[in-house]
Amino acid sequence: MDFAAAATMDFAAAAATVFAAANLAAAIAVLAGLFVGVGQGNVAAKAIESMARQPEARGNINTAMIIGMAMAETSGIYGLVIALLLLFVNPISNAFISYLGTIGG
């Protein structure tokens, strides 16, 4: 085996590792959306419980709940954006895909 073939195999192994790591990181980033949903459900349940106990404080509780949920939702959106960037804009992943195209054809 010559040096060029060995270098190509090393590139393929390194690119595959980065590609796998990017997909794993994207999956972890998407989990942020799952946890945001659980947290928002908990906040809504507690807000409804609070409004049932003190109906006169409904306006303040509702406002605080809406602001808190909006701030929590941003972390889910950031997780989605990071996952999309890792999957579709990662230059090493794109290089790996183009490398696989040169092997197959």
At residue 15, the pLDDT reads 74
- The CA-atom distances, in angstroms, between 87 and each of 2, 23, 76, 82, 84 are 33, 7, 17, 9, 5
Which of these, 4, 10, 74, lies nearest to 39 by C-alpha position?
A: 74
Q: What does the alpha-carbon distance between residue 99 and residue 90 come to, in Å, rounded to a whole number?
A: 14
At residue 4, the pLDDT reads 54
Output the tens digit of pLDDT for each of the chain's 105 residues. Answer: 555 555 556 777 777 788 888 889 889 988 888 888 888 999 999 999 999 999 999 999 999 999 999 988 898 899 889 888 888 887 777 777 777 777 655
CA 69 to chain CA centroid, nearest Å: 18
Domains and CATH numbers, the chain: 22-92 (1.20.20.10)
Residue 72 near residue 39, CB atoms below 8 Å: yes
Q: What is the DSSP letter of 89?
A: T
What are residue 100's phi and psi, to 5 degrees? Answer: -65, -35
